């Protein structure tokens, strides 16, 4: 009798495991579609914050002042955006969203950050050895940045029982590289209410 019950429960558990594994489905969706499964910071948040903050920074006086003074587009480098939130946020994704918005605006020029500049310099050095002289990238032609953007992503979580509110705040600053003057400070908040 014990063997029969044991076999019966083993079969039932096996069926439950088998059916739960076969119910999974994957559907292709548009990358523009907003999907928020966990309530954590996601690609939609990154894009929305980058769009709004770059729209704000580009419409402030610093850019017009620079154009009047130098009669050229300002050159911007996006530096470190530190993640000091309570969860893992890939800040490099956010930095790329910010760079994309800057470039696509056509209002500023964007140069590579320090990490990628080194890779470009390595490639230029290799071209000096292996590429024909007429196709080699020349040394000393790099574009210097006029302004640097940097910032921080933070979050505050408030929870009670099966509910929580997460408030993400992104603070960015733009500074003149020559004078160290802060020419713009902006922030954007996203608040999420999560109920289990």
Going along the chain from its start, the domains and CATH numbers come out as 41-130+137-195 (3.40.50)
* pTM of the predicted protein model: 0.78
**Do residues 94 and 79 make contact, with C-beta atoms less than 8 angstroms apart?**
no
Q: Mean of the per-residue pLDDT values for the chain?
A: 86
Asked whether residue 3 carries a pLDDT value surpassing 70, the answer given is no
Asked whether residue 77 carries a pLDDT value surpassing 90, the answer given is yes
pLDDT at 59: 96
- What percent of the chain is predicted at pLDDT more than 70? 85
- What percent of the chain is predicted at pLDDT more than 90? 49
Asked whether residue 39 carries a pLDDT value surpassing 80, the answer given is no
Asked whether residue 182 carries a pLDDT value surpassing 80, the answer given is yes
Which single residue is written with the structure tokens 């523009």?
A: 32
pLDDT tens, position by position, 113-167: 877 777 887 888 888 788 888 887 878 878 889 999 999 999 999 888 988 899 9
Alpha helices in the chain (DSSP H): 2-22, 43-58, 61-70, 91-105, 114-130
Which single residue is written with the structure tokens 């059916």?
A: 19
């Amino acid at each position: 009798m014990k063997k029969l019950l044991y076999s019966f429960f083993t079969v039932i558990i096996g069926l439950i495991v088998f059916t739960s594994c076969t119910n999974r489905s994957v559907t292709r969706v548009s990358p523009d579609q907003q999907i928020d499964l966990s309530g954590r910071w996601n690609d939609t948040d990154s894009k929305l914050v980058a769009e709004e903050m770059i729209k704000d920074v580009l419409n402030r006086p610093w850019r017009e002042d620079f154009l009047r003074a130098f009669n050229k587009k300002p050159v911007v480098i996006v530096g470190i955006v530190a993640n000091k939130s309570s969860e893992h946020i890939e800040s490099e994704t956010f930095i790329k969203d910010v760079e994309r918005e800057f470039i696509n605006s056509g209002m500023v020029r964007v140069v590579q950050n320090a990490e990628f500049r080194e890779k470009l310099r390595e490639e230029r050095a290799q071209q000096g050895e292996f590429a024909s002289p007429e196709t080699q990238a020349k040394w000393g032609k790099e574009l210097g940045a006029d302004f640097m953007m940097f910032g921080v992503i933070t979050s505050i979580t408030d929870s009670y029982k099966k509910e929580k509110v997460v408030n993400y705040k992104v603070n960015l600053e733009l500074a003149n590289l020559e004078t160290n003057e802060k020419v713009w400070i902006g922030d954007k908040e996203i608040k999420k209410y999560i109920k289990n």
